[in-house]
Structure formats: structure tokens, C-alpha cells
Amino acid sequence: MKPPPRAPDLARKLLAQPLTECVACVREGGALPSDLVSAAFDRADDVGAGRESLNIFLATDRVRATESAKELTALIGRAEAPGNLAGAPVAVKDNIATLHMPTTCGSKVLEGYVSPYEATVVRRLRANGAVIIGKTNMDEFAMGSSTENSAYGPTRNPVDIRRVPGGSSGGSAAAVAAGIVRLALGSETGGSVRQPASFCGIVGVKPTYGRVSRYGLVAFGSSLDQVGVLGRSVEDTAIGLEVIAGCDQLDSTSADVPVPRYELEKNARLDGLVIGKPKEYYPEGLDPRVAERCERALDAFRELGAEVRDVSLPHTSYSIPVYYVVAPAEASSNLARFDGVRYGLRVASESGLTGMYEATRARGFGPEVTRRVMLGTYVLSAGYYDAYYKKAQSVRTLIAQDFRDVFLSGVDVLFTPTTPTPAFELGAVKDPYEMYLSDIFTASANLAGVPAISVPIGTASGLPIGGQIIAGHFEESAMFRAAFGLERALAGKALPGEGSA
């Protein structure tokens, strides 16, 4: 008779299983939380997650993670509810505040900074039994689409180490794609969860603005920022979002709206669901590989009983120009706090206080952050506020109205490409504007504040391609319903040439 698997061997296998199976095994005593933590760190070593290879983590804490796992074991032993993520190792983007581990935002200006408090989303993860194993690499202050702007070096895509993992949540996406964790937190300002999810072949969710507390998320663009979830499957992200969502008195933008059981949409039928196909997201210049995979996904929706309807979001073309006025303007205000006086880097100067400010910010901020702060300061300056910022906000209102109109017309969700191309090679995109265009299909959802999810819909030459499902405000349940259906429909199906290198 074959002997039962050793706990460490079982833990390694569990990391590849859905969160529900992993958590159930822990609750039933089949595996210890400490086994899962060890398996996650072993996997990180196996795939080369360190600085010299994939460069996924900026900080890890195996000792505290193991201690947390032992505390969970004690809770389980006393039959106390360990939560919906019992024992699950989770990674957290480095702009989300944690105790004990640094929160650097991928910047030299916050090198070594440890927050005196934890973000609400982190506390909610811990309350549900998750074990935080590390802080993930990111574009500096979340300003980037490739994780090449980190002050601590770029993260590489586990699918193809010659390519970027996307950004700014590239480290979190890579941690999930590499099999180190099933779930990770990222943040979204213009697509920074969905775009890396697409590039890495995983699932990424941006919730409705106000659905998840931003308390403890270092601010970039306050009217755009949201904490998001990355996972190996739609179900993993549904569970993760349900854990962190909900009203928070510490965040004035947090909405007091009930949080549904998103995972209950797993087996829901798509009969009668109306899916909009916005023509503006399918331009003639769209990569034909992306277009083909999207058409296959739309056919899958039809086979499931959904109706696909052509729609229009006429102000979509203004999304990138509007985003790169509004977001830098808010960033220039938010980043004014990093002045070398209260925390973080301080560079002494013989030129007095002003000289210290200038020296600290010049040495602490990288070129992309500097570019956006200067742009934001410019559009807010006297004589240009009305011409740029005020006009951008007016057009933003029109973009949001486009979404309201299409959902009021009877459309339940929209389906679009997540990105215009698969992941590009490290160093291949040198023009900032060309880099900004990688968010062309994602930024509008942030401007409108609506929820969106990126789901893998195939590969091209071995590179993942994601499809995006967008829903109305606080309609994440409809979004997950469509995402679950699409995931089921595409499972095991492949187009000619998929998976080849």
C-alpha cells in the first residue's frame, strides 16, 4: 500500500490547488499552515524570486510568517474559526502598509521605511487566516506599466524572463504566476492589476471605487486608486475580494454597500446575460492575435446562452489624455509629503530648507516619478488649470456617462481586450507615451470608477492574452458571473499555435 504523502509534499501540491481546497485541508488538519508557508518560500527559492533573478519580492519575513502560521494552528486546535483564507500564503504590493516589513513603494525616497500601522486590507486578510509572506516589487509609487521603474530593479515575467510582467503590480502578478502564492494584493490607478494579470496569464480584479478601503494604501491618484486582487483563478479572486471588501470608517471614500458572496456565482448560468462589445476597444490596429482570442471568447459567451450586442463608448479615445492629466495632477499633490522632513530619505544641503527639499527629492525620486510630478504641477499651475485639469475633469464626466448610458440600455457587462498586445520585452519600450498606451483599454474603468476583471483567454507564441469584463458600479456579482462562465468555457480549449514557444 502506498504511504500517505508527507505534509511538506502535500503542502507543495496544495499551493497548486484552488484556495478552497487549500483552506479546507488546513481546517481539517490535513496540512499545517506552517507547511504551506514553508512550501511558499521553497517555491520562491525554486523559481528564483530573489533580486538576482525574477526580482519578485522587495521584502520577506519567514520568521514572522512562521509564527503567524503557528498561531493559526493553535486557533484551529481550539476549534476557533480560522477564516476563509486559513493558512493561505499571500503576497502584498509594497505600497500597502504593513507592520514589521518595509513599505517603500519601490522608491529610494522610502528605502527602509516601516509603517507604524497596517492597511485595512492587510488586517482583513490576517483576520481571515491569511499569512503575509512578503512585499512585492512595483513601479515606483505605482507609476508605470512594466515594473521597470522600480528603484530596486525590474521584475521579470515568470512565463518568459525576457519579458516584463506588466505594472505597476508586476511583482504581485509574478508571485501568483510563478506559483509562490495563490493570491496577492495589488493596486490600481489606471490598470495596474488587470494589465499585469493579462501579461502573466492570471486573473486580476479592480473593484468599484469605494468597494475596498484605501486606508494604508500610499496615495498616487486619490480619485482613481483602488486596492485590487490577483489570483490563479476567478474563484480565488472572488474569495479574496470578498475578504477585503466592505465599508471602513477609516476611509471617507469607502462605500457602505453590502458585499455579496461572489464565489456563489461560480455555477450561475449565463442565459439572458447581455454582453456589450464596445467598438472603440476593437480598433483596426489591434494585434490580430489579441483580436482572434477575443472573438473566440465572445463565441464562448454566445454558446453559453448570453447575448452579445455591439455598443459604443464614444469618449473612449480621450481616456489616456484625460488620465495623464488627472493622475499626475493628483500625484503632484500627494507626493509633496515626501520632503525629507517627516520620514524616509533626507539629503542634507548647505542651501537651507529649500535646498534640502530639492536634494532629497532629486535623489529619492526616479525619472518617471519626476516626469509625472512635473506634469501634474504644470497642469495645476495658474494659467493652465482651466485649460488642462478642469477640461480633463469635464471629459472624465463624459467618459463615466458613456458607461452609465450603456448599462442603462440593458447591457449587463462589457467584454474587451485587456491589453493591445501580449507582454513586451524588457527595455523594448523606451518612449513614455508608447508605454502609456499599454493601458489604453484599462484606464477608462478607473476614470469611471467601475469594476473590471482580466481573465486569461489564450496564448500567442506562448505568451498569455487576457480578456476584460467590465460591469456597472457595485455590480461585481455580474462581472464574476460572466468571468466564471468564460473560464469554464475556455478550459482545455486551444487555438492552433497556442502554447508554442
- Residue 115 and residue 225 share a domain: yes
CA-to-CA distance for 66 and 60, rounded, in angstroms?
12
Does the residue 394 lie in any domain? no
The pairing of strands 89-93 and 131-136 is: parallel
**Listed residue (160, 172, 180, 166) closest to 47, CA to CA:** 180
Total number of domains in the chain:
3
Assigned C-alpha cell, 447: 476614470
Write out the chain's pLDDT in tens, 501 residues: 343 445 667 888 989 999 999 999 999 989 999 999 999 999 999 999 888 899 999 999 999 999 999 999 999 888 887 899 999 999 999 999 999 999 999 999 999 999 999 999 999 999 999 999 999 999 999 999 999 999 999 999 999 999 999 999 999 999 999 999 999 999 999 999 999 999 999 999 999 999 999 999 999 999 999 999 999 999 999 999 999 999 999 999 999 999 999 999 999 999 999 999 999 999 999 999 999 999 999 999 999 999 999 999 999 999 999 999 999 999 999 999 998 888 888 988 888 888 988 889 999 999 999 999 999 999 999 989 999 999 999 999 999 999 999 999 999 999 999 999 999 999 999 999 999 999 999 999 999 999 999 999 999 999 999 999 999 999 999 999 999 999 999 996 666 556 543
What pLDDT is attached to residue 42? 96
- Residue 308 and residue 376 share a domain: no
CA-to-CA distance for 294 and 311, rounded, in angstroms?
16
- Catalytic annotation, pick one of 34, 107, 115, 192: 192
What pLDDT is attached to residue 243? 98
- What residues does 48 pair with on adjacent strands? none
What residues have CB less than 8 Å from 183, skipping those under 6 apart?
Answer: 19, 85, 88, 90, 91, 130, 176, 229, 230, 231, 236, 237, 239, 240
Does the residue 490 lie in any domain? no
What pLDDT is attached to residue 12? 86
What pLDDT is attached to residue 11? 81
- Residue 356 and residue 229 share a domain: no
The range of the structural domain enclosing residue 380 comes to: 321-386
What pLDDT is attached to residue 1? 37
What pLDDT is attached to residue 215? 98
CA-to-CA distance for 364 and 397, rounded, in angstroms?
35
- Catalytic annotation, pick one of 34, 38, 68, 93: 93
Report yes or no: 94 and 103 within 8 Å, Cβ to Cβ: yes
- What residues does 308 pair with on adjacent strands? 275
- Residue 143 and residue 76 share a domain: yes
Helix locations, 365-417, DSSP H? 367-380, 391-408
Does the residue 396 lie in any domain? no
The answer to whether 172 is a known catalytic residue is no
Does the residue 2 lie in any domain? no
What pLDDT is attached to residue 7? 60
CA-to-CA distance for 135 and 92, rounded, in angstroms?
5
Element (H, E) at 123: helix 120-127
- Catalytic annotation, pick one of 68, 115, 150, 168: 168
Does the residue 294 lie in any domain? yes
- Residue 337 and residue 359 share a domain: yes
Domain CATH code at residue 105: 3.90.1300.10
The answer to whether 500 is a known catalytic residue is no
- Residue 140 and residue 26 share a domain: yes
The answer to whether 430 is a known catalytic residue is no
Does the residue 491 lie in any domain? no
What pLDDT is attached to residue 499? 54
First to last CA, the chain: 41
What pLDDT is attached to residue 495? 60
Does the residue 480 lie in any domain? no
Q: pTM (2 decimals)?
A: 0.95
Does the residue 392 lie in any domain? no
